[in-house]
Amino acid sequence: MKTVLITGATDGIGKQTALQLARHGWRVLLHGRNSQRGEEVVGEILDEMPHAQVEYLNADLSSLNEVRQLARTVLALTPRLDALVNNAGGFFPQRQLSRDGLEMNFAVNHLAHFLLTNLLLGLLQSSAPARVVTVSSVIHRNARLNFEDLQLEQSYNGTRAYATSKLMNVLFAAELARRMEGKGVTSNSLHPGVVATKMLQSAFPSMQGGSPVDGAATSVYLVTSPDVEGVTGKYFENKQIAPHHPLADDPEACARLWEISARLAGVG
């Protein structure tokens, strides 16, 4: 049985991704930051599929220490990890700092997944072929990256901060693909579509969204489809390779973001 870890899987797109992968027969490690909600989702899956293997893991991704503990839990819980879905995300309209003193869009949407993925890379490689799937957004195409002000200390705008973090997702996925070339681990990013989630209502209250079921479709496709076996370093929309921000094709920019992230996350 293949095993997948999905971050932010207690609601919206993440929950639907967990449900669909459980239906595909995968063992699902379901992450969230509300244990009561997490156990409810586990119960929902087991009500539909009594023989499913699904476990809930609790962690607040705004804390690097909790990200490290999440990785330790995964390493103790499973001898293999066939896929990692970096799905969790947040939108913070006002500038807030995490417990580590980091801007929250940067901390939750980018750096937490950068750290988690790096801590699980050994397990992913030993489980090869394995896949890393990072949920970005089409809004990343409108973002710009100022390496002198990645956390928007000079001038903060919530939508810009969110878009910047989604651009970082795409650059991270591209650089991970380069670093994992020939090692049996693929890395792709995606836009799930405009989906009616709590985050959409918070970030863009006037915007109408589609179903979380549809929003999970590309993530599930990238985890399971034989059509993308060996495909890496791409950005997808509607299960198709789509144009991404040109910065993701700049090896120097991708490597620079990786190096800054590694320093802030304490990754060797």
Secondary structure class of 163 (helix, strand, coil) = helix
Taking each helix axis from N to C end, the angle separating 251-265 and 158-179, rounded to the nearest 10 degrees, works out to 100
Using CA atoms, how far apart are residues 167 and 171, in angstroms rounded to an integer? 6
Using CA atoms, how far apart are residues 19 and 30, in angstroms rounded to an integer? 10
Structure tokens at 50: 């009594």
Amino acid at 50: P
Catalytic: which of 56, 156, 162, 235? 162
Active site residue 235: no
* 156-to-36, 91, 167, 247 alpha-carbon distances in Å: 34, 13, 16, 22
Structure tokens at 206: 């006037």
Catalytic residues: 162
